[in-house]
Amino acid sequence: MANSKLYKGSLQTIILNLLEKNDRMYGYEITQKVKDITNGELKITEGALYPALHKLEAEGFLDVQILKIGNRMRKYYKLTEQGSKETANRLAELEAFIKNMQFIVNPKFKIN
Amino acid sequence: MANSKLYKGSLQTIILNLLEKNDRMYGYEITQKVKDITNGELKITEGALYPALHKLEAEGFLDVQILKIGNRMRKYYKLTEQGSKETANRLAELEAFIKNMQFIVNPKFKIN
DNA sequence: TCTTATACATAAGAATATTATGTATACATT
DNA sequence: AATGTATACATAATATTCTTATGTATAAGA
């Protein structure tokens, strides 16, 4: 199956929504979760993920908690209250985008 | 109504699909068509549109025909055969993207 | 006359991704 | 013991694609 393209701008929406549903997650976990959910079609690269997490944190949408599991570090991210509101906004944006794309792509607009 | 965000990467898909349905169009017409179809939610800026058209043309997906309407120039774009195939690919990518985003966002994945 | 619409274009800058690279621990296989 | 794969973080260089600003020019309406 072809590797589905990730539209630029959707990564933050993905992160926020996963955190809305999973309380807290760490970076690597997010990459695996997305791969699982999409049957390997979407692959979040680390070079995109970590900067995105840092940015969302800097904007006040995420809180971090660093844990040591065995001898290895994990940075758990969690939505702030503001982050939860932002998630709703991003979700609405995504739905509007999808709706608009379907209008544009839909054959019923073949006739002017 | 909030102005819906345009995910980066979707503009070419929009252009290709409009040309699939309208045989030939010129740039300004595309901006107006998108605005109409989406009730003003999506606004294609000229700074994005014209470079995108030039790129699609350079890649062999579009043919150009310059017409003078009255005293004003219009550059009409039309899908090449290759462009028509590419449109199908982009459409499949878009549908895969939407499907994957719905998986990620869908509440049924709330429970692990 | 002034503003808005039509119609093209490009340049500077911002945002967001890919690709490559680096560090380090843990586990499985040869 | 050595090598590869998985886990887990990170950043830098580069590419892509957009926004914003600017430019040129014709046409139409207030």
Task: Flag if B34 and A104 touch (Cβ within 8 Å).
Answer: yes
Q: How confident is the model at residue B39 (pLDDT cuts 50, 70, 90)?
A: very high
pLDDT of residue A2: 55
- As to burial, measured by CB atoms within 10 angstroms (0-12 exposed, 13-18 middle, 19+ buried), residue B5 is buried
Query: What is the layout of strands, in order, in the sheet containing B72-79?
Result: B24-26, B72-79, B62-69
Encode pLDDT of A52-80 as tens digits. 999 999 999 999 999 999 899 999 999 99
**A:35-74 residues touching chain B, CB 8 A cutoff:** 37-38, 41-42
What is the model's pTM? Answer: 0.93
Distance CA B66, CA B50 (A): 14
- Chain CA centroid to CA A30, Å: 8
Q: What is the mean pLDDT of each run of 10 residues along chain A (112 residues)?
A: 79 98 97 95 96 98 95 96 97 96 80 48
